[in-house]
Amino acid sequence: MFHKEGTPSILLGTIFTVAVLLLADKFIDINWLQMLVQIFAVLVLIIILQFFRNPKRTAIINENHILAPVDGKVVVIEEVYEGEYFKDKRLQVSIFMSPINVHVTRYAMNGIIKFSKYHPGKFLVAWHPKASEENERTTVVIENNTFGAVLYRQIAGALARRIVNYAQEGMQVVQGTDAGFIKFGSRVDLFLPLGTPVNVVLNQKAIGGKTIIATKE
């Protein structure tokens, strides 16, 4: 299954691959060169298809859990000052997505969207310390009775050139469902209330909609 945001790229990639295969067969007489060009075209299509894959996952909804919003590696767990919405200290948990990860963003918890804003910006590498403040990004705040307000931020990376965000203020959202997509490498930051028990460790691999990031009893 592929994400709907990948439809244009998959279509163009398919047309490109078919065209290269046919043209190489017709105009390249050197067998090894013809094969090399054709293999390259097929690999391009495979890369596009794997990037936009959207594995079907059914989250086990639990009001006491914050689930990973994306697939990737946990690269930050620390107290920071969040200056856009809360304007106070929060517990930040960041997940870095490489180009080979699934790039679907999923809602980390049930709740109501209280804030949703897009910010144009730079395209620093996603692990850069200033990426959270200077890169193209979206900021979304979900609120429920268990955790209160939790902020997540989709951050474009050096290769990412489009962030898709489905969250709109006032929406009632369901944990684990589709919240958006980031194209070609990125990061997602979660900002939790201080004192929230965290269930992951640095460098741990997270699975979006499955891995429990934090709990509250």
Q: List the catalytic residues.
A: 186
C-alpha span between 196 and 199 (Å, rounded): 10
Backbone angles phi, psi at 203, to 5 degrees: 75, 5
Which stretches does DSSP call E strand in the chain?
A: 65-67, 72-82, 88-97, 104-106, 111-119, 137-144, 148-156, 163-165, 172-173, 178-182, 186-192, 205-206, 212-215
Classified as helix, coil or strand, 11 is helix
8-state DSSP, 158: S
C-alpha span between 178 and 104 (Å, rounded): 7
